[in-house]
Amino acid sequence: MNSLYMKIHKQAIKIAEQYPDADFYQDYPDQVDFSLQFFSTDAVVCALYDYVVENIEDDFGHGLDHVRKVAHDAGTLAIIEGQKLEGAGTGKELFGSELNHRVRMAQCAGLLHDIRRKYKNHAKEGAVFSEKVLGQYLFPKEDVTDICLAIENHEAFGDIKVCRTPAGELLSDCLYDADKFRWGTENFTHTVWEMVSYANIPIKKFMNLYPRGISFLEKIKDTFRTPTGRKYGPQFIDLGLCVGEDIYQFIQTEYAEYL
């Protein structure tokens, strides 16, 4: 990261610290803790995490830190939404080994969803690649299909492929929402600066493109897919937009000579 973007990055983190965490984490502490503990103790997730550490490209704003957070939140959403999975009106809730299985699948999807981030059509490429990887982890073929389809469906504003079961659809939606949670504050504390540094974008060009990026983020608020995502997702984005506006004003004031 060049020195100018490093300075802006540090200021962005300070700005973000002035804003609260999203209500999602305050309202579901038990589910958040369960997902975090599961991530660090489940043998399959831990083994896949070690694989991702060695194979993900970590210099483009969608690297290891990003996929780890997506995996955590996808697991949390799988717990929260893990009711009435087996068909409308059954009232069946997940518990025990079945709940663990759904969290495991959500976290594996989160870890792998950006494994081909630098490729054109990265969601499709990631799904194809992940099918080969998951074959090493003793998932049933049907589960591999569901995880890979969730990965293929995680792009914003793209066509959504129909999942084979309600459980597969929920997995897909949990991955999408967990990924888009990252488009809030974290977009401005981490992702943006890694991306512009990787692409070597001059600050003047970056600032010219800034309003278009903000407009794109605004549109994300209407795309969340799970009931929980639709409730909390817009707040994630709004917090990010507040941070983004503060950063924009900071750059205009402190680095006017570059613009």
Beta bridge partners of 93: 83
User: Above 50 in pLDDT, residue 88?
Assistant: no
pLDDT tens profile 96-107? 788 899 999 999
pLDDT band at 86 (very low <50, low <70, confident <90, very high): very low
Beta bridge partners of 83: 93
Q: How far apart are CA 17 and CA 25, in angstroms?
A: 16
pLDDT at 96: 76
pLDDT tens profile 130-175? 999 998 888 899 999 999 999 999 999 988 999 989 999 999 999 9
Computed over every residue of the chain, the mean pLDDT equals 92
Q: Are 109 and 150 in contact (CB under 8 A)?
A: yes
* Among 202, 195, 203, residue whose Cα is nearest residue 59: 195
pLDDT at 93: 55
pLDDT at 87: 44
Q: Are 203 and 255 in contact (CB under 8 A)?
A: yes
pLDDT at 42: 96
| Fold exhibited by the domain 3-258 | Hypothetical protein af1432 (1.10.3210)
pLDDT tens profile 201-255? 999 999 999 999 999 999 999 999 999 999 999 999 999 999 999 999 999 999 9
Per cent of the chain over pLDDT 90 is 81
Q: Are 76 and 99 in contact (CB under 8 A)?
A: no
* Among 213, 216, 215, 232, residue whose Cα is nearest residue 224: 232
B/e letters for 7-43, b = 16+ CB within 10 Å, e = fewer, are: ebbeebeebbeeeeebebeeebeebbebbeebbeebe
pLDDT at 84: 56
pLDDT at 158: 86
pLDDT tens profile 225-238? 999 999 999 999 99
